[in-house]
Amino acid sequence: MKGSENELLTCIDDLGIDLGQPIATLQTTIVNNKNRAVGDIDVQFFGRGFANNGTYVCADGNCLKGFNIQYSKFHPDYYKFNYNEENRKLNVIGNDVDFTLQFK
């Protein structure tokens, strides 16, 4: 999903993340849009330095299960990303997930 990759890259740029670094960790608020569970988590942005993986977002799987999210790695090839620069919100939507990351 080329549009999703562009949305993720816009988010990364807006947050000031250096893609030259292999991993950047930020604290964010997560909202599971399916069940409205809300809380703070750390997410990692993985840059292009990881062979054949491209840029993607990851979080601790055990932590995400607490928000009823079964997966921990979100790649724009498999999930739809939509970033709102004004509110600094990254929406991630897929078959089994629909959540928002609200950055400070």
Q: What is the pLDDT of residues 34-93, one digit of tens each?
A: 999 999 999 999 886 655 677 899 999 999 999 999 999 999 999 999 999 999 999 999
Question: How many domains, the chain?
Answer: 1
At 64, which CATH number? 2.30.29
Beta strands in 3-97 (DSSP E): 23-32, 38-46, 56-59, 73-74, 80-84, 89-93
Output Rg (C-alpha) for the chain, integer angstroms: 12
pTM: 0.92
Range of the domain at 39: 2-103
Q: How far, in Å, CA of 75 to CA of 13, rounded?
A: 17
Spatial contact of 81 and 92, defined as CB atoms under 8 Å apart: yes
